[in-house]
Amino acid sequence: MAEDVMKDYQVCQPDIDHITDGLAITWPSGDESRVIVCLHRIVEDSRTAGIWAEVEIAIDLNGSGPTRLLANSRVNLVSPKSRNELLRLIKERCFTENIAYYPWVYMIEQVAGVVIAHSRQTRPIIKLGDKPEVTEREYCLYPILAKGEISTVYGAGGSGKSYLADYIAVLVQYGYGGLANWSVLGGAQNVLYLDWESSEGDHERRIWAVKQGLGIENSKDIAYLFCDQPLVGMLPNIKPIIVAENIGLVIADSQMPAAGTGTDSVQIATAYFNAARALGVTFLSLDHINKEDLRAGDSPAPTGPLVKYNRSRSVFELQKAQEPGESYLDLVLIHRKCNEGQLLKKIGFRIDFTNNPGGALEKVTFSESGIDDNPALLKVATIFERVVLALRDTGTMSKDGIAEYIGEKPDSVKAELYRKRRRPVFVQTDQKKHLWGLVDYDQF
């Protein structure tokens, strides 16, 4: 009898099915029993040169359930030693003579072969050259989040990054328009917020308050995941969530804890961005600046290795201005890098916080603001922008008067007056007095 059972399993090829977080391999037998091996969290680890999986082995004696668990262990399937340890565990737990005679060595080898082939799969080659069906760039949130690509927003701690991320999450989840004509052109998409820094309660309060500011009725739609391990190690958990919840945008808050620790910062950052790309959806990464840039008040890139700047398809810096006791934040979003197309203009905006009489957050509103009423935007304004502001305030001024007004050298102001004159923006209103003004005051 034992030999017959062994023969049945040897000649039978298993059925292989994809499950939400891995693979299921099933061997049917002539006596209607089944061996079921489920492989969860399959991860290739370059450090150990292994392919690891959580292996769950069960027996269904009559072919229709219930199953009896034989083994549940994390195994390196390319390691003979690890596979032999699994075989020892299985044989210790066989509860009938027939099961002990199953060809376990043969089946575990088949499992290893299936997992290795699964891990070595690559995407098919695509031939390029024909006119694409869609010639315009697609966006998850126009014009700041290109669809399917990685974008980064970075800034100092406390600069409002998480509030901005919650605001973006609400716009995308519910299909709302926002600041500076931000719009969800392709329709609303489900959002997954991966949080390494705060808590469910914090984001629940913020998202609810943002929705109140936009007039959205309360409902729990944005997916949230509390994270305490690097993104690379959490991929087997996150990928099934993306499929099950039909996620279109993932927000990672923030890059530093999500990337993990180690001695090689470039390798760590590269692994993080590889993991973000492997998710296959639009990905927004929040990041920080270093201490020196914080003192200087300006940072052209997020803290850490240059690979973070290079791997992001679009990069934004967020700066704030706030005095103690103010119930609002003045911010400016500066587009530092774009891999396709032009850099966007700086966006100045204000976040207003409304509390109830007890001091609890009740509503958060986002509103666009200009250079003349946003100190954060004024701080990063170009000479050209400050010249325009000076002429708006005074009507007409001489070159030297403008230079004194904005605190710049006269030669720098002269260069702007003549370089931008071709637009035209500036006009010399009195050649004898050398006075300058704006061509069209109302457009500024």
Domains of the chain, with CATH numbers? 2-119 (no CATH), 139-377 (3.40.50.300), 382-443 (1.10.10.10)
Three-class SS state of 390: helix
Give the per-residue pLDDT at 97: 66
Q: What is the mean pLDDT of each run of 10 residues along the chain (444 residues)?
A: 50 80 82 84 82 91 77 93 92 78 89 89 83 87 96 91 97 93 93 96 95 89 95 87 94 94 92 94 93 64 90 94 83 93 91 92 92 76 82 86 86 82 74 82 50
Residue 408: half-sphere exposure toward Cβ, Cα within 13 Å: 19
Residue 38 CA to residue 17 CA, distance in Å, equals 9
Cis geometry, peptide bond prior to residue 33 (ω within 30 degrees of 0):
no
pLDDT, position 1: 46
Q: What's the pTM value of the predicted model, to 2 decimals?
A: 0.77
| Single-letter residue type at 437 | G
Residues forming beta bridges with residue 192, ordered by sequence position: 223, 250
Q: Give the count of beta carbons closer than 10 Å to the beta carbon of residue 262.
A: 11
Whether the Cβ atoms of residue 187 and residue 175 lie closer than 8 Å to each other: yes
Tokens of 387: 């010249």
Amino acid 39: pLDDT: 92
Question: What's the pLDDT score for residue 182?
Answer: 95
236: left (phi over 0), alpha (psi -120 to 50) or beta: alpha
Tell me, what's the pLDDT at 268? 93
CB atoms within 10 A of CB 400: 12
DSSP 254: -
Parallel, antiparallel or unpaired: strands 190-195 and 247-253? parallel
pLDDT of residue 41: 85
